[in-house]
Chains A and B, each alone.
Chain A
Amino acid sequence: MDFDTSEEQQAVLDAVGVLLDRHAGPKRAIQLARELANEDANEDSNEGAHEDTYDHALDRALAEGGFNDIARSMSSLEAALVTEAVAKAGGRCAFATAALVAANLGDDPNDPHDSHGPIEGPIAIALRSEDGPVRFAAHAKHLLVISNAGNANSAGNNGNAHLIALEPGVIEPVSSNFGYPMGLVPNAMRRGGRALTQENARIIDWWRLALAAEATGTMQSALDVTVEYLSRRRQFGRTIGSFQAVQHRLAECFVQIEAARWLTYECAAQGAPREGAATVAAHALAAAARVFTETHQLSGAIGFTHEHDLHVWSMRLHALRTELGGVAGHRRAIAHSRWMGPQR
């Protein structure tokens, strides 16, 4: 056991930090989101304007920096660390799916038995059974479709995941208040594609881990901006952050986030085992709801505005919570793999 980042890990975080300073941060996230709003306001907007709502520059920089492949060149723990950092900086690109899901698809270019080479990104990921907006889908080159039939069930193979190549423009961008660029993916568009070697259940493990890593970074920033604001904002002649009723709620959020972080790291280091992945997703996404409620409540009216940074992260938390069946499903998955597995 060792809870300190190694020198190599620190070097990775420093490198991605430099990149995120240049290509991410709340200002950039707000500006990118506004492109979409402008486009909505202007019916005649030209095709492709929505391209700008996705951070292609960040996406490219991460890919060129080798971060998409870090799960292979180093390990999934480093991939989780970088995913958390990108989320913390409010990055608007599909890094988590690339680094934690796609990189663990078993499509090793050096493996002669492998059926598919590296998948060109951006990659969006969606459940076959759903019918609505999907994060990053309007900008994705590939859609990874997961069947969640028997999702909670840990036993046996439940079929393989499918990969659908997306022509530019086939997926329509959809305006969403939930912090990410989205594309509408009707159910019919989730059919077909080519079967991957990896079974659905295994990809769901990685997806759960990816969600937790994103939620962790996102929650941390939501808490950080709130703590910073409440350390300045004065009412009744004193800083609001000095009221104990307020302090306790923020401290409770911190405990939840800190747990999400370490559960994420451990789960990543262990290669996203079934029960561990369900555990970290269930914990982190339950915490996400609490962090949303508390940070907004404690920020007052300013917290709801585009003029205050909180929304950059807070709104995303609820998008993460909707994916993959939500907290209740993650919790049931824990019960299935821990207490209802075939070993019993």
Chain B
Amino acid sequence: MQFEWTADDKRFREELARFLDETLPADWDELSKEGPGSDAQAEFSKVFCRRLAERGWLTPHWPSAYGGRDATPWQHAVLSEEMWSRGEPRGPQYMNVNWIGPTIMEFGSDEQKALHLPAISEGRVLWCQGFSEPEAGSDLVALRTAAERDGDDYVINGTKIWTSYANHADYCFLLARTEPESKRHKGISVLLVPMNTPGIELREIPSVVGHRYFHEVFFTDARVPASCRLGPENEGWAVVSHALQYERVGAPRYARAARTLDRLADYARENGTLDDPTIQEKLGHARTMCEAARLLSYKVIDQRAKGLPPSADTNVARVAGTTVDRAVGELALEICGENALADGSFADANFRMSMTAGVAVGATEIQLNLIASRILRLPKE
């Protein structure tokens, strides 16, 4: 057991931090307020990710066969922490490099790899994730979107919802039922669908989180060639499970929370409230949550670095990560007081980003269910 970063990892973090200092524009704070799905940030991500790619830092954790540098999961963690703590300048592209690319590597045909992997590793493509449906949220396998085989094509009908970045995306990583009467985990396939396919329509769902945050995506007789299918027909659940392993700890929410907390302390100091013991206690409490989530995430990364199969420790890390994200979001409102209330204020922007933490990417209750059964081994009944 030891808790030291290697010299290489430390150097990598320093280089990244310096690069971010130099590369992020002066108005980055303003620009990043609307979150990774905003028009401005999606556009910026294309410029920024290309620059990261030039240095080999967009996909360092990818194998060298796919243009990566075989970086360790620890270096991937460093990368994610540095990006998240700066408001994720990769915008939606963190998904591409974290799990879409690696899943295509694992299951893709040569053509799919040739088409998608360079585009992702060069930072010039945006993706969205078409999993959730109006009737399939936490219980994802209740999904009904159908992709019916018609010769060499699939014809897609159905509705996806909550699809982040759908408005900017070039492709959708889509789950659909390719076996008409199938139930639950069976009969699902993954399709890599170009978003400009005729028959795809979007509706923005206005929300308190921000503009263009949520979308509904309607598929009406949308026809794609069968070559869009990733992995074997009707066995897409294995593909999704693989993808989700990568997704789950992808976002180090604690890193952003820790950065926000430091800025809240600055704010309190400037406003003369840092001497208030109650404020100190609140800041200190939030800091313990950041550190708790950091170490619990590291435990998962350690397992990944050792090539172990995913475990319920991932769920533990996620509960801690969402807890701190929300707690710091709320503390920002409290510390900034009235100044929090105007749209786009520091506290408002943080709160918007944090308030969905317990729901996105699998709600907290589902994580707790898994901890109860897989770690505590509590009875099912």
Chain A residues near B (Cβ < 8 Å): 1-6, 9, 77, 152, 227, 230-231, 238-239, 241-242, 244, 246-248, 250-252, 254-256, 258-260, 262-263, 265-266, 269-270, 276, 278-279, 282-283, 286, 328, 330-336, 338-340, 344
Contacts and interface: CB of A to CB of B under 8 A. Distances in A.
A331 B281 contact: yes
Given A252-B319, A333-B284, A247 B369 contact: yes
Which of A250, A279, A286, A335 has most B Cβ within 10 Å? A335
Contacts of A266: 3, 295
B207 interface: no
A250 B3 contact: no
Interface of B: 1-5, 74, 262, 265, 269, 274, 277, 279-285, 287-289, 291-293, 295-296, 298-299, 301-303, 305-306, 316, 319-320, 323, 365, 368-369, 371-373, 375-381
A269 B3 contact: yes
Contacts of A344: 269
A259 B292 contact: yes
A331 B5 CA distance: 26
Given A239-B381, A259-B296, A263-B295, A332 B280 contact: yes
Contacts of A260: 292
Given A263-B291, A283-B291, A331 B285 contact: yes
Given A1-B2, A339-B283, A340-B274, A248 B291 contact: no
A99 B228 CA distance: 62
Contacts of B280: 152, 331-332, 335-336, 340
Contact of A247 (B4, B292, B378): B378
Given A248-B365, A263-B291, A335 B5 contact: no
B376 A339 contact: no
A283 B319 CA distance: 15
A215 B373 CA distance: 25
Contacts of A254: 316, 371, 375-376
A238 B3 contact: no
A231 B378 contact: yes
Contacts of B375: 251, 254
A242 B281 CA distance: 37
B213 to A, nearest CB: 28
B302 A282 contact: no
6 contacts: A248-B365, A251-B372, A255-B320, A282-B288, A330-B284, A332-B277
Contact of A248 (B3, B289, B303, B372): B372
A330 B5 CA distance: 27
A334 B1 contact: no
Contact of A270 (B3, B269, B320): B3
A339 B274 contact: yes
A339 B368 CA distance: 34
B316 A255 contact: yes
A276 to B, nearest CB: 8
A283 B379 contact: no
B3 A251 contact: no
Nearest to A334: B284
Contacts of B381: 238-239, 242
Given A242-B379, A339-B269, A1 B285 contact: no
Given A1-B74, A239-B379, A265-B1, 6 more contacts: A2-B1, A255-B319, A255-B371, A270-B3, A335-B279, A339-B265
A250 to B, nearest CB: 6
Contacts of B372: 244, 247-248, 250-251
B368 A248 contact: yes
B292 A263 contact: yes
Contact of A6 (B1, B282, B306, B378): B1
Contacts of B316: 254-255, 258
Contacts of B3: 1, 265-266, 269-270
Q: Point out which of A1, A250, A269 has the most chain B C-beta atoms below 10 A from its C-beta.
A: A1
A243 B288 CA distance: 30
Contacts of B296: 255, 258-259, 262
Nearest to A77: B1
A10 B156 CA distance: 56
A250 B274 CA distance: 35
A339 B275 CA distance: 11
B1 A3 contact: yes
Kindly list the 7 A-B residue pairs having the minimum CB-CB distance in the complex, ordered from nearest: A331-B284, A259-B292, A242-B381, A247-B372, A334-B284, A335-B280, A339-B265
A338 B295 contact: no
Nearest to B281: A331
Contact of B299 (A3, A279, A286): A3
A265 B319 CA distance: 20
A251 B381 CA distance: 17
Residue of A152, A230, A238, A332 with highest tally of chain B CB at under 10 A: A332
B349 to A, nearest CB: 21
A285 to B, nearest CB: 10
A238 B378 CA distance: 12
Contacts of A256: 292
A242 B380 contact: yes
Nearest to A3: B302
